[in-house]
Amino acid sequence: MAPPIDRLSAQPPQATTRPPMNDTARRNAAQRVREAQAYQQQKAQDTNEAKFQADAARERLRIAKAEEQQAAERVHAAKTEAQQAASARQRQLRGNAIDVVA
């Protein structure tokens, strides 16, 4: 019969142990962390800038639509005024024609 295995004294498998990081690897890892943080910060700034630009574009679009609506109202008013003037001229011409005939 085999002797019982003393689990506390047994060495862990080699794959689960890692040698301690040397200074170069530690510096490289710290540099990668700093680069990742800088990237995230730049990405956040770019996102904020894009949101600001989108908000400004939406405001310009809103203003342009309001101006377009005002222009359409002015065109409609001018057409109505022109139709009224044409009707008035027609009535005046008919009145003059009736006076000439009479």
Taking only the tens place, the pLDDT of each residue in 41-78 is 999 999 999 999 999 999 999 999 999 999 999 999 99
User: In angstroms, rounded to a whole number, what is the distance separating the alpha carbons of residues 5 and 65?
Assistant: 82
- DSSP type of residue 15: G
Look up the domain containing 72 and give its range. Answer: 28-101
DSSP H stretches of helix in the chain: 23-101
Token pair 């065109």 in the structure block, residue: 75
Does residue 3 sit within a domain? no
Does residue 36 have a pLDDT over 60? yes
Does residue 8 have a pLDDT over 90? no
Does residue 3 have a pLDDT over 70? no
Does residue 95 have a pLDDT over 70? yes
pTM comes to 0.53
Question: What tokens does 51 get?
Answer: 């949101």
- Asked if residues 21 and 29 have their Cβ atoms less than 8 Å apart, the reply is yes
Domain count, the chain: 1
Does residue 62 sit within a domain? yes
Does residue 78 sit within a domain? yes
